[in-house]
Amino acid sequence: MANVTVIGAQWGDEGKGKIVDWLASRADAVVRFQGGHNAGHTLVVGEQVYKLSLLPSGIVTGTLSIIGNGVVLDPWALKAEIEKLTAQGVAINADNFAIADNCPLILPLHRDLDGLRETAAGSGKIGTTGRGIGPAYEDKVGRRAIRVCDLAHLDALDSQLDRLCAHHDALRAGFGQPPVDRDALVAELRDIAPYVLQFAQPVWKRLNQVRKAGARILFEGAQGVLLDVDHGTYPFVTSSNTVSGTAASGSGLGPNATGFVLGIVKAYTTRVGSGPFPTELEDATGQRLGERGHEFGTVTGRKRRCGWFDAVLVRQSCAISGVTGIALTKVDVLDGMEKVKICTGYRLRGKVLDYFPSHAADQAEVEPIYEEMDGWAGTTAGARSWADLPAQAIKYIQRVQELIETPVALVSTSPEREDTILVRDPFVD
The residue type of 242 is T
Question: 324: annotated binding-site residue?
Answer: no
Is residue 16 part of an annotated ligand binding site? yes
Active-site residues: which are they?
A: 13, 41, 140
**34 annotated as belonging to a binding site for a ligand:** no
The annotation status of 21 as a binding-site residue, yes or no, is: no
Confirm whether residue 42 is marked as ligand binding: yes
CA distances from 258 to 62, 102, 131, 201, 246 (A): 22, 21, 29, 21, 9
d(CA 231, CA 175): 31
Is 299 part of any known ligand binding site?
A: yes
Known binding residue 331? Answer is yes
Question: Who's near 215: CB < 8 A, 6+ residues apart?
Answer: 28, 29
Task: Decide: 19 and 44 in contact? Cβ < 8 Å.
Answer: no
Whether the Cβ atoms of residue 216 and residue 63 lie closer than 8 Å to each other: no
Q: Check whether 298 is labelled as a binding-site residue.
A: yes
Do the annotations mark residue 269 as ligand-binding? no
- Judge whether 18 is annotated as a binding position: yes
User: How many residues are there in the chain?
Assistant: 429
46: annotated binding-site residue? Answer: no
Beta strands in 200-277 (DSSP E): 200-201, 217-220, 260-266, 269-271
SS3 (DSSP) at 177: coil
CB distance 282 to 187 below 8 Å: no
Question: 12 a known binding residue?
Answer: yes
Burial degree of 424 (CB within 10 A; 0-12, 13-18, 19+)? middle
Is 38 marked as a binding-site residue?
A: yes
208 annotated to bind ligand = no
Distance from the Cα of residue 54 to its chain's centroid: 10
CB 168 within 8 A of CB 148: no
302 is in an annotated binding site: yes
Angle of helix 133-141 relative to helix 108-121, nearest 10 degrees, comes to: 110
CB burial string 347-371: b at 16+ within 10 A, e below: eeeeeeeeebeeeeeebeebebbee
Which of 121, 263, 105 has the alpha carbon at shortest distance from 189? 105
d(CA 396, CA 65): 36
Whether residue 271 is annotated as binding a ligand: the answer is no
Confirm whether residue 61 is marked as ligand binding: no
Do the annotations mark residue 122 as ligand-binding?
no
Residue 294 is labelled as binding a ligand? no
CA dihedral 106, 109, 112, 113 (to 10 degrees): -90
Residue 189 to residue 426: CA distance in whole angstroms: 41
Is 238 one of the annotated binding-site residues? yes
- 412 marked ligand binding residue: yes
Is 125 annotated as a binding-site member? no
* C-alpha to C-alpha distances, 173 to 63, 170, 349, nearest whole angstrom: 46, 5, 45
As annotated, the binding site includes 12-18, 38-42, 129, 143, 223, 238, 298-304, 330-332, 412-414
As annotated, the binding site for Mg(2+) includes 13, 40
As annotated, the binding site for IMP includes 13-16, 38-41, 129, 143, 223, 238, 302
As annotated, the binding site for GTP includes 12-18, 40-42, 304, 330-332, 412-414
As annotated, the binding site for substrate includes 298-304
